[in-house]
Amino acid sequence: MGITVGIVGARGYVGAELIRLLAAHPAFELAYVSSRELDGQPVAAHIDTYTGELRYCSPSHEALPALGADAVVLALPNGKAKLCVDAFDDAVSRGVAADPVIIDLSADYRFDESWYYGLPELTRGRYRGQRRISNPGCYATAMQLSVAPMLAYLDGPVQCFGVSGYSGAGTTPSDKNDPDALRNNLMPYALTGHVHEREVSSQLGHPIHFLPHVAPHFRGLTITANLPLSAPVERGDVMARYRQRYAGEPLVRVVDEAPWVSAIAQRHHVDIGGFAVSADGRRLVVVATEDNLLKGAATQALQNLNLVFGLDEMTGIPVLENC
């Protein structure tokens, strides 16, 4: 038997992507997938590439530890993870269950220093065997990868204009995931104090101003980052810095032109490009695109699972040629 993984909250878009990735992984085996709405239904009826016999289940929080998975991925809305984590911690403290690896995809533990913040390209050097992993937000991933190579040269807050497909709003009905409301539209929301703004500012140790919007497309996000600089730069030197910083990172591709979001859907990497420099060299604009359901969530969770269990980080992650 392989390393067993359970998914809690598997009905959503990210849960579906995780099922696809884990079902095809050579070392991991799905132990259970939970969903109250789909309880009892065959997973294969909802996931086109899944051919196993597993059915969705709906255990209580208290029952989860007894299911015995080596790792558990919490694909729950913000504010819902703590009950699950508390149940595992209680069972471990009472000696009635083994201590699983827990990966939380919500924002609930991204500011908890006792949890490893799993953005591998920037933080894998901080991993010290932690069994509690906080997966970064989708926008937060693209923003940090866009800004990190220039941290030493910043002079003032970085402005990040973000546009995401409506899958980023999840499956609970709202204007932000209603195709009819979004048709021919661009919907701004949470223009100050967004959780990703706080997350990126905290992780980078530098103020970030984030301006999120939702567009009519389903998946994929774009970040346009405006970086004020303390000294003039040349475009060629900037590109060289980004390429050096992400050399050997299969899931970060540095490109010349500004990337288009339509080209990133269903792909597991981040494209970073554009690199427009103002006439005085003191302002840099960088554009990044990413599939919010993959590198922004499920793919990154798989990177972290691979890391925790001592596997090659790219195991089970299909990277297309020239990515």
Tally of residues, the chain: 323
Q: Which residues pair with 116 in a beta bridge?
A: 133
Residue 138 known to be catalytic: yes
Alpha-carbon distance of 249 to 81, in angstroms, equals 30
As a whole number of angstroms, the longest Cα–Cα distance in the chain is 65
Token digits of residue 52: 């196993």
Token digits of residue 77: 């809305």
Neighbours of 228 (CB within 10 A): 15
End-to-end CA distance of the chain: 32
From the candidates 57, 84, 138, 160, which is the catalytic residue? 138
Nearest Cα residue to 204 out of 214, 196, 213, 212 = 196
Nearest Cα residue to 273 out of 258, 291, 251 = 258
Tokens 């800004």 correspond to what residue?
Answer: 147
Angle, helices 13-23 vs 299-308, to 10°: value is 50
Give Cα 63 distance to the centre of its chain.
27
Find the radius of gyration of the CA atoms of the chain: 20
Q: Which residues are catalytic?
A: 138
